Structure 1
Amino acid sequence: MCFSSIDYYGIVFVLLLMLPTTVLSQVTIEGEFRPRTEYRNGYRQLRTTATEPAFFTSQRTRLSLQYQSENYKVKVAGQDVRVWGEVNQLQDNSNVNIHEAWARINLSEMIQLKMGRQELVYGSQRLLGSVNWTQQARSHDALVLKFQQPQAHFSVDIGGAYNQEAENVFGNTYGLNNYKILSYAWLQKGFGSWNMSALFLTDGFEPQPDATNFRYTTGGHLAYGNQPWKFSGSAYYQSGDDLTRNNISAYMFEFKGSYSWASFRLEGGYDYLSGGKASDTNPARHTFNTLYATNHKFYGHMDYFLNIPTDTQGGGLQDLHLGTNYEMTNKADLGLTYHYFALANELPNFQNSGQSTEQYLGSEFDLSFAYQFSEDISFKLGYSMMLSTSSMDRLQGRNGKESQQWGWVMLQISPDFEK
């Protein structure tokens, strides 16, 4: 749903003026102003001798309205996402869209029903996340039944979605590049310093009218946290049929750990996502798909592997990462992470080049700095470099230079208008 920014923010303002004081005490109004300037010279795609660096500023502006009573809670969040200068001056373009619009009904003290456009965020966002780094972020039109037992540190979410393009008179053909059907169950239980969760997810796609293929993803996550040590690990398996991938049999696993002392934290880990094998008649069926994850958190800030398996051409991915974080003050911290990227399997005669694609793809270094001016204002900047290989060139079909670079700076102001 899109309309002009004047329409959305004007409607919210008028509604607030009409509300009595007793109602306003139950209303929460929050905003976000987030401009980000980027210098791209190798972000997402390898730079070559023919490419020129890109420099621009994008901006996300959000305004959310929440009303909560004893029996229910409602939230509506509109956002305007744009690049500075993309619209002609004096031109009125519709840029605002609804990011969230949901209602949560309290069926009992422990059971809630949440319906409408909403973010689905679970665990570390390995498979279901908000993708908040992108200015538009991700939300779903879904129905979620929630069960929570806080004293036992136990919770269960059961959710589902059924997508349509329009109010059809006949038929249910869905042609957009989204899932047609989504259903999942997520269970979480805490045991002192331990926390475990399990996810059972099914998503269905319509490769041709009135024919839905289903993919099944099952697995879990285990975490331990007791200063100064923290450990966690996940494992997931995929089966079913997705588009042309008959009899999917793919998997992924990851583990990581960290140790903190004084103002320093050291961390490291390893991710493995299965890929296709040349000896298989249908190698794509062995390629793990990360579904609706926030991959920017995991596989390097330069987002070369944002869309898996597409970005690895079905070859899977290995990511060995080491990092450190230094808390300079209680308001500022500095981080540096190294990624060693490799395919899970070698891809021979890749893209008819006559050469095999060796597994090692490149090394990435991500440097970041964050400063919290106040509770509402934060400032962040980062610089990343990728040292790519000839295998990465063949993966993208480009004659890339040896080093790729990307820098960014971002200001975030998140006012709570009720304070």
Structure 2
Amino acid sequence: MDRHFLSLALAGTAIFVTQNVIAQEETPKIEEEKLHTFEVSAQLRPRFEYRNGAYLPLSKGDEPSILVNNRTRLNFDYASTGNYPLGVHLSLQNVNIWGQAPQIQVTDKTGGLSVFEAYAVFPLADKFSAKVGRQMIALDDDRIFGSLDWHPAGRSHDALNINWNPNENLQIRSFFAFNQNYLDGTRVININSPKGQHFVSSNAQPYQHMETLHAHYAFSKATQLSFLFSNLGFRNDTAQKTYDMQTFGVHYIGAAADWKYGFSGYVQTGKNVNGTTKGAYLLAVNAGYKFSPDFSLNAGLDYLSGNDSSGTSTTDKAFNPFSGTNHKFYGFMDYYYVSFSPSVGLINPYLSANVRINEKSNLSATYHHFSSAGKMADANSNKRRSLGNEIDLVYNLKVQPFVSLQVGYSTYFSNKHLEALKGVSQARGYQDWLWCSLNINPKLFSAKF
């Protein structure tokens, strides 16, 4: 009897164990949730340039400049999605010209590494978040605040950014900054300096303080409207005073069938860095039509107000697109608002065409006609003047997922009024510029844990 009972018990145990093992095999394993991500990426961007009149018209007999500039960036990104969400981004870069560093480089003569961006992102409350640290500020089409990605070094600000997203269509962003550089000529002052406004704008950010509000509403993916208000405090080192300039306006883009169109309007008030009353404006309109999947045309007009060269007005009427990506709008030769802001302003009607060659390449061509917005005086009269014409050609090719190629050629047809504006004598009537850029953006490492 005992032997029979023992056999039944052993059989039952075997059946239970077998069923339990089968059940465990059939139940899918629940993978542990990964709350942290870490990525490392890089960018190598060498660009060959033949500058035969870029930035500044060359005079007869001037020798062109030929160089290769290079950007090297190393990016680190960390994100946590747990109970305490946090994102951290660090971007280190080196900008140099080929040949600056010797073959045997004991010390870095290229300027070494710099911090392009270094910020943290974290939530503040429901639908509120903050970004603090060195960061790009790129708003709308980059006309007032832009990334300046064309420049090897790019542009970034030291700022606090607070975002509010009440719904999926509306985003309100605010930016705040207060800058000191603690420099006295080339001497670094102790960071614990107990008094004084140690700010020299030529060695630091162009403004001492900044308060910006940007509201963006998307009616649809194709129709969007935004409003910008920005106050910049310019420190006048000579007068030991800070003057505030306000910029406010709207940016709108829309579409209907094969048409795309846009409008931007901004006004500047307050005072410039010299304490002169500011009264300037910018108007920009554009419209484009897509004739086919492979061909489109776009036309537009930019008007940036300016001063009369022989005027006696006590108001500064020259609009200042202070942190915009001006290379994008006012000709690739960078005659205007890139290291040179024309006091007479600018009128820029343009026409561009884009041809899609295949899935990996396209070609664009843009024609600009430049004129002064303010009056320029000469021996005969005082009126708005033509400043010449520019043609920009750009070819884009996607070589592989992480490699792209750009080739550009630009020509500028100058005249005597441009010579007077730029302070160049006997400038050649034909200026040109050729460049070729290779952009390599590999993702080096990615992990979740």
TM-score (norm 2): 0.84
CA shift at 1:169, angstroms? 2.1
Partner of 2:219: 191
Within 5 A, what are the aligned runs for 1:327-406? 327-349=356-378, 359-398=385-424, 399-406=426-433
Secondary structure of the corresponding residue to residue 421 of structure 2? helix
- Cα gap change, 1:354 to 1:83, in 2 (>3 Å): farther
Say if 1:227 and 1:260, in contact at 8 Å, map to a contact too. Answer: no
Structure 1, 334-343 or 225-234: larger mean CA deviation: 225-234
If you compute each CA radius of gyration, which structure gives the higher value, 1 or 2?
Answer: 2
Secondary structure of the corresponding residue to residue 373 of structure 1? strand
Out of 132, 135, 138, the position equivalent to 1:121 is 138
Out of 47, 71, 76, the position equivalent to 2:58 is 47
Structure 1, 155-164 or 222-231: larger mean CA deviation: 222-231
CA shift at 1:150, angstroms? 4.7
Deviations 1:244-291 (A, max 9, x none): 252211111000011113200100000000011357424661111111
Structure 1, 281-290 or 262-271: larger mean CA deviation: 281-290
Say if 1:357 and 1:391, in contact at 8 Å, map to a contact too. Answer: no
- Cα gap change, 1:340 to 1:303, in 2 (>3 Å): same
CA shift at 1:320, angstroms? 0.3
Partner of 1:246: 276
CA shift at 1:346, angstroms? 1.8
Partners of 1:146 and 1:279 in 2: how far apart?
45
Partners of 2:358 and 2:314 in 1: how far apart?
50
Deviations 1:354-404 (A, max 9, x none): 986751000000001000112211011000000011100111121210000
Partners of 2:160 and 2:166 in 1: how far apart?
20
Deviations 1:301-327 (A, max 9, x none): 00001338x432x10100000010000
Say if 2:327 and 2:338, in contact at 8 Å, map to a contact too. Answer: no
Partners of 2:288 and 2:223 in 1: how far apart?
15
Partners of 1:169 and 1:23 in 2: how far apart?
47
Partner of 2:201: 176
Paired AA for residue 201 in structure 1:
S
Out of 62, 72, 75, the position equivalent to 2:73 is 62
CA shift at 1:226, angstroms? 3.9
Partners of 1:40 and 1:286 in 2: how far apart?
32
Deviations 1:89-143 (A, max 9, x none): 3232141100000001112342111100000000000000111100001100000
Partners of 1:396 and 1:357 in 2: how far apart?
18
CA shift at 1:54, angstroms? 1.0
Paired AA for residue 176 in structure 1:
S
Partner of 2:103: 89
Say if 1:275 and 1:284, in contact at 8 Å, map to a contact too. Answer: no
Partners of 2:56 and 2:368 in 1: how far apart?
17
Say if 1:357 and 1:394, in contact at 8 Å, map to a contact too. Answer: no
Partners of 2:366 and 2:417 in 1: how far apart?
22
Paired AA for residue 333 in structure 2:
M
Paired AA for residue 188 in structure 1:
H
Please tell me whether residue 288 in structure 1 is matched to residue 304 in structure 2.
no
CA shift at 1:32, angstroms? 0.4
Within 5 A, what are the aligned runs for 1:62-211? 62-70=73-81, 71-91=85-105, 92-93=107-108, 94-151=111-168, 153-166=169-182, 167=191, 168-177=193-202, 178-192=206-220, 193-208=222-237, 210-211=240-241
Secondary structure of the corresponding residue to residue 160 of structure 2? strand
CA shift at 1:211, angstroms? 1.3
Please tell me whether residue 33 in structure 1 is matched to residue 58 in structure 2.
no
Partner of 1:11: none
Structure 1, 360-369 or 199-208: larger mean CA deviation: 199-208
Partner of 1:7: none
Please tell me whether residue 409 in structure 1 is matched to residue 420 in structure 2.
no
Say if 1:275 and 1:283, in contact at 8 Å, map to a contact too. Answer: no
Count of aligned pairs:
393
Secondary structure of the corresponding residue to residue 59 of structure 2? coil
Partner of 2:24: none
- Cα gap change, 1:248 to 1:40, in 2 (>3 Å): same
- Cα gap change, 1:276 to 1:298, in 2 (>3 Å): same
Sequence identity, in percent? 30
Secondary structure of the corresponding residue to residue 296 of structure 1? helix
- Cα gap change, 1:255 to 1:283, in 2 (>3 Å): farther
Partners of 2:308 and 2:357 in 1: how far apart?
46
Partners of 2:419 and 2:300 in 1: how far apart?
26
Partners of 1:374 and 1:169 in 2: how far apart?
55
Deviations 1:144-166 (A, max 9, x none): 10112453x10001111100113
- Cα gap change, 1:245 to 1:339, in 2 (>3 Å): farther
Partners of 2:289 and 2:65 in 1: how far apart?
38
Partners of 1:38 and 1:74 in 2: how far apart?
35
Out of 315, 319, 325, the position equivalent to 2:348 is 319
Structure 1 gaps, min length 5: 1-21
CA shift at 1:172, angstroms? 2.0
